[in-house]
Amino acid sequence: MSLLDHLNPEQLAAVTLPNQHALILAGAGSGKTRVLTTRIAWLVQTGNVSPMGILAVTFTNKAAREMLTRISAMLPINTRGMWVGTFHGLCNRMLRAHHREAGLPQLFHILDTQDQLAVVKRVLKALNVDEEKFQPKQVQWFINGAKEEGRRAKDVEAYDEFSRRTVELYAAYDEQCQKDGLVDFPELLLRCFELLSRNEVLRAHYQQRFRHILVDEFQDTNRLQYRWLKLLAGQGNVIFAVGDDDQSIYRFRGANVGNMADFEREFKVPNLIRLEQNYRSHGNILNAANALISHNRRRLGKNLWTAAGEGEPVRIYEAQSDGYEAHWIAGEVQSLVGEGYTRGDIAVLYRSNAQSRVIEHALFSAGIPYRVYGGLRFFERQEVKHALAYLRLLANPEDDSAFLRVVNFPPRGIGARSVEQLQDAARMRDASLWRAAAQLTGKAGVSVGTFVRLIEAMRAGTRGIPLPEAVDHVLHASGLLEHYKSEREGADRIENLEELVNAATSFVRDELPSGAAMAAVDATEGAAPEAGVADAADPWLAAFLAHAALESGENQAGEGIEAVQLMTAHSAKGLEFHIVFVSGLEEGLFPHEQSVTEEDGLEEERRLMYVAVTRARTRLYLSFAQTRLLHGQTRYNVASRFLDEIPAEVQKWLTPRGGGVFDEGAWKAAPPPARLAAKAEGRAAGGRGALPFRIGQSVTHPKFGAGVIVSAEGSGADARVQVNFGRQGMKWLQLEYAKLTAA
């Protein structure tokens, strides 16, 4: 069978292009890997180039291995010597071959993230730098960011004393790495780029060798990677770039979607081919995706289609709360399994990692095996375990494992030697670390004593207050929230910590009547404290910690067990499932509230939604909640604008559109702040009875459009309501003049 027999007309045109620069816009599910590997095989088979004259770049080792496997299946050649790999892998290979020219020892060592952080800490210590002011992870983030932009310390502009000092630390770190023969990941690409830039002979050698350069996932390249490709391309080489600007979702990692348009312009690309036939999804799913992404202005443009038929409509569900949404998903999963789908056919996607907790709980409660893809279950996440360790110390200061976990986290100058002295003292006295701390002397005694006083202050600060407030107090007083603000990707960790407050709120509301909670109360002597109030010996705190321990147990499905897949929309890229749930489609959540204030932020959020939608093969569910716990408080939501951007003719609402599922009983069970706002003693204009609207009710306004009432106050002619109008923002409206109508 010919190499070309299995290709559609557009794929065939791409594979057999003449030796000129080409940009292949490969839509989701359009067979881009098939095109890329077949292009390589065709070039070799037709004698255009030898296998050693090809450079193929992708972003993961898994993708590189798959490419080599496919090429081996198409051609009777040994692919082991071919230059097919990731940017970092190929740069490492080049630097190993030319280590002298690159100024590196032959056996230079590559630092992983943790090793790099250790070197940063060593440099800071050698320079007597205050790690409270210049936090190691923040310095690491600064160094990596500069390198990924192609800038050495001498190229970074300092704006003030702090940035000047940070630049000096970057230079000192580079000097230390050079002295020790160490190379971090960003350094691989930067060092290789610098080598090719200054060494004309070497650059000419590789330009003559690699006549054909093929790039996968071109939309994910950063500026330095693009510059590296341009160096290798020279004058006579051919770049065959495959990518999808509509799936560019890694801006936070430095990806620059503009590289595709720049490549087309700078290389005067004569061949732009669109792969638009989709082999994954049914028509209604693709129609939804096409309509959604068409709202992005800065795109090269394409329109997916399929020969598989229209299929089922896109199902949309409006829940009363995030808890209702999660339980509905669990119930729907059970129905789907009853229809004959396997659990492995089903994926639940969400915008933020923190959203997994309530979904995990619902699946666990329903006895549905699940697996968190590309991440840890909620209660297993590092930051959550740190917070729980502090709470465990409040409940039981004798908990040595909790003590050891957080005694120096966030870093507070308690080194390994001090901890060893404390452990020795505890062994000698056959006492807990907490009791031994009081007997510790010297420098170790001072530093450990400071930690003990911190815990005692937190115990005092949480005594007699509601459990969610106690958790929130611990997050702030421990320094965990402040610590993660300095991390490059600390926003996710902060969201998970804030979700722990929500977990406590849900526990107080939903779990206390359960047998486990009441057993904890019955085990104590005397009257139990008020429900949900934390204290040093509070059974409610103990019950919550027991709940967290149970939830972090072996709930996740083991290897070989069919399980529902849970993941963020970012993690889902490159995957596909028969059934996909996209949850939490609310303004401020998806799209994320930060996106509307950032350049290209909203368009990237829409691209992320496009990726989520195009993961589905046969059935797509979109859901949102009228209320969602945020920071331990109930937030009233407006449906995501993305739902409005999907054509009505492909939608099937499973609930009455516009708030028809709102339940008065659920509203009455809302947390006190919501109830108090709703029970404002004010009257409608003119004193004609009670307020005509309730908290959480959907309304419309002639100017601001659809919204949700989140608060109310005042009386008589002064009565007013606060309405969340989504993209129009929050508005206080006086009822006498507002012209609000129930949606």
* Catalytic residue set: 32-33, 216-217, 247, 615
How far apart, in whole angstroms, are the C-alpha atoms of residue 522 and residue 718? 50
With beta carbons less than 8 A apart as the criterion, state whether 469 and 540 touch: no
How far apart, in whole angstroms, are the C-alpha atoms of residue 631 and residue 652? 33
- Angle formed by the axes of helices 467-477 and 490-506, nearest 10°: 160
Name the token pair of 343: 């659990």
Residue 182, helix vs strand vs coil? strand
- Backbone torsions φ then ψ of 24, nearest 5 degrees: -105, 110
Q: Could you give the C-alpha distances from 642 to 359, 578, 590, 606, in angstroms and in order?
A: 22, 22, 8, 8
The residues that bridge with 80 in the sheet, in sequence order, are none
Report residue 514 CA to chain centroid gap: 33
User: Secondary structure of 581-646 in the HEC alphabet?
Assistant: EECCCECEECCECCHHHCCCHHHHHHHHHHHHHCCEEEEEEEEEEEEEEECCEEEECCECHHHHCC
**541 closest CA partner among 554, 531, 555, 556:** 531
User: Secondary structure of 268-337 in the HEC alphabet?
Assistant: CCCEEEEECECCCCCHHHHHHHHHHHCCCCCCCCCCCECCCCCCCCEEEEEEEEHHHHHHHHHHHHHHHH
Residue 354, helix vs strand vs coil? helix
**Quick one: DSSP state of residue 689?**
S
Any idea which residue has 């904890």 for tokens? 520
CA angle 333, 338, 340 (to 5 degrees): 100
Burial of 721 (0-12, 13-18, 19+ CB in 10 A): buried
**589 closest CA partner among 651, 642, 647:** 642
Q: Pairing relation of β-strands 616-630 and 577-582?
A: parallel
Residue 680, helix vs strand vs coil? coil
**471 closest CA partner among 548, 405, 413, 377:** 548
- Backbone torsions φ then ψ of 274, nearest 5 degrees: -105, 120
Q: Which residues of 171-184 are buried (b: 16+ CB within 10 A; e: fewer)?
A: ebbbeebeeeebbb
The H or E element containing residue 401 is helix 400-406
With beta carbons less than 8 A apart as the criterion, state whether 733 and 704 touch: no
Amino acid at 723: V
CA Rg, the chain, in Å?
29
With beta carbons less than 8 A apart as the criterion, state whether 348 and 565 touch: yes
Residue 653, helix vs strand vs coil? strand
